[in-house]
Structure formats: C-alpha cells, structure tokens
Amino acid sequence: MKFSPYELYDLINRAGPLWLAYADLSDANLRGVNLRGAVLRGVNLGQAFLNNAILSDVNLNDANLKGAVLIEADLSRSDLIGADLNGADLSGANLSGANLGGAKLRDAKMNEVNLRNANLRGANLVNAIMHSANLINTSFGGADMSNAQLSEANFQNAKLINVNLGGADAYNSILTEADLTKSSLVGSDFNKSKMNGAKLSEAKLGNANLSEVDLRNADLTDADLHHAFLYMADLSGANLTGATLNNANLSQVKYNKSTVWPNGFNPRTVGAISED
C-alpha cells in the first residue's frame, strides 16, 4: 500500500508505537521523523530520505532500504536482519547495538558510522565505504568485506572470524585484540595499522601490505604470509609457529627474543632486526 504525503503525516504523528509492516514508503521524505520502537518489518523504504531520523529500537527485519539516505540517523539497537541496504548512505549514522545479521550493505556509504557492539555476522559489505568507522566490539563472523574502504576504522576487540577482507583498504586502522582467525586478507592494505594482540591464526595474508604494522604479540600461527609485504612491521612477541613466509618481504622487521618463528627460519637472513 502506498501512502499519500497527508496519510503518511497522519500516521507518523499518531500516539503509540507505529505498525507499518510491509508498507510501501519508497521515495518518502521522512527527514528527522521520530519512529522509535516502530514495527517496520518488510517495509519498502527504497530511495527514502531519512536524514537525522530517530529509528532506535525499530524492527526493520527484511526491510528494503536500498539507496535510502540515512545520514546521521539514529538506528541504535534496531533489528535489521536480512535488510537490503545496498547503496544506502549511512554516513555518521548511529547503529550501535544494532542487529544487521545477513544484511546487504554492498556499495553502502558508511563513513564515520557508529557500529559499536553491533552484529553484522554474514553481512555483505562488498565495496562498502567505511572510513573512520567505529567498529569496536562489533561481530562480523562470516561477513564479506572484500574491497571495502576501511581506512582509519577502529576494529578494537572486533570479531572478524572467517571474514573476507580480500582487497580491502584498511590503511592506518586499529585492530588491537581483534579476532581475525581463518579470515582472508589476501591483497589487502593494512599499512601503518595497529594489530597488536590480534588473533590471525590460519589467516590468509598472501600479497597483503602489512608495512609498518604493529603486530606485537599477535597470534600468526599457521598463517599464510606468502609474498606479504611486512617492511618495518613490528613482530615483537608475535607467534609465527607454522606460518608460511615464502617470498615475504621482512626487511627491517622488528622482533625480539619473545618472537616465535617457524621451525628452521632465520630472520637475520631476510633483513629483520632484533630489538634485543
């Protein structure tokens, strides 16, 4: 059902929680609207304007938000399981504590978005633009973030198990204590990022740019680092037991007596520098 502007105005200004499940609100102008706690499951908000809207605690499961404009909208604690947000603009939006499991966010603009403590397990974030995003404690298990733009994003303590980050640009990002176990970072760029204490066991890092990365105390057991570029990275205290280092560039890499190398590997022969 498609609402006229008058009908829509009347609906959103009624007292009590709003129920508009599966309604057609495509192309609607809902800038600054307060829909806190509304039930909008399966609603069509494609190409809608929701700048600065209050959508906290809203049920938007399976909603169509393709191409919607949600700049600086408040979607904190909302449910967006399976929602289609492909091409949406969520720049500066607050999605802290939101549930976006299996959501579609391909080509979404999410610069400076707040996704702290959010769930994005199984989400599609291919080509998403997330510069300076707050991703602290966020769960991404099984998500596809290939070719995403993530420079200066904060992934501290994030769960990124079995995530595809192939080709991603995460220059100068923070991944302190993040869990990237079994994830793919093939061909990605993490230049100058902080990955100290990160879990990267069994991760695929072939051809990744890890130059000047802080990998102190990182777990790289059984990681694949073939052809990885680690120039001037800090591997002090890192565990590389069983790691594959074929043709990796380890020139001027820092290490210390606590660094654990693969059996038979001599770091001095590849230009690494002992800090002891």
Q: What residues does each domain of the chain span?
A: 1-102, 135-276
The one-letter amino acid code at 122 reads G
The answer to whether residues 252 and 273 touch, using CB atoms and an 8 Å cutoff, is yes
DSSP letters for 74-89:
B-TT-B-TT-B-TT-B
Query: pLDDT tens-digit profile of 83-104?
Result: 999 999 999 999 999 999 999 9
Tell me how far apart the alpha carbons of residues 256 and 8 are, in angstroms, rounded to a whole number. Answer: 65
CATH classification code of 1-102: 2.160.20.80
Q: Is 270 exposed, middle or buried (0-12, 13-18, 19+ CB in 10 A)?
A: middle
Name the CATH superfamily housing domain 135-276: E3 ubiquitin-protein ligase SopA (2.160.20.80)
Tell me how far apart the alpha carbons of residues 261 and 255 are, in angstroms, rounded to a whole number. Answer: 10
CA 19 to chain centre: 31
**Phi, psi dihedrals of residue 8, rounded to the nearest 5°:** -65, -40
What is the reported pLDDT for 1? 59
Residue 150 has which token pair?
């993530």
Query: Per residue of the chain (276 residues), what is the pLDDT tens digit?
Result: 577 776 777 777 776 678 889 999 999 999 999 999 999 999 999 999 999 999 999 999 999 999 999 999 999 999 999 999 999 999 999 999 999 999 999 999 999 999 999 999 999 999 999 999 999 999 999 999 999 999 999 999 999 999 999 999 999 999 999 999 999 999 999 999 999 999 999 999 999 999 999 999 999 999 999 999 999 999 999 999 999 999 999 999 999 999 999 999 999 999 999 998
Residue 142 has which token pair?
């099984």
CA 215 to chain centre: 20
End-to-end alpha carbon distance in the chain:
71
Q: In the 3-class helix/strand/coil scheme, how is 223-247 assigned residue by residue?
A: CECCCCECCCCECCCCECCCCECCC
Query: pLDDT tens-digit profile of 195-226?
Result: 999 999 999 999 999 999 999 999 999 999 99
The one-letter amino acid code at 275 reads E
Tell me how far apart the alpha carbons of residues 233 and 253 are, in angstroms, rounded to a whole number. Answer: 5
Tell me how far apart the alpha carbons of residues 212 and 198 are, in angstroms, rounded to a whole number. Answer: 15
**Equal fold, 1-102 vs 135-276:** yes
Tell me how far apart the alpha carbons of residues 192 and 209 are, in angstroms, rounded to a whole number. Answer: 9
Q: What is the CA radius of gyration of the chain?
A: 22
Sign (positive or negative) of CA dihedral 258, 260, 264, 265: negative
1: helix, strand or coil: coil
Query: Contacts from 28-37 at CB under 8 Å and sequence distance 24+?
Result: 28/3, 29/5
Distances (CA, A) of 234 to 19, 29, 255: 54, 51, 6
Distances (CA, A) of 66 to 84, 85, 105, 190, 217: 6, 5, 9, 30, 42
The answer to whether residues 166 and 186 touch, using CB atoms and an 8 Å cutoff, is yes
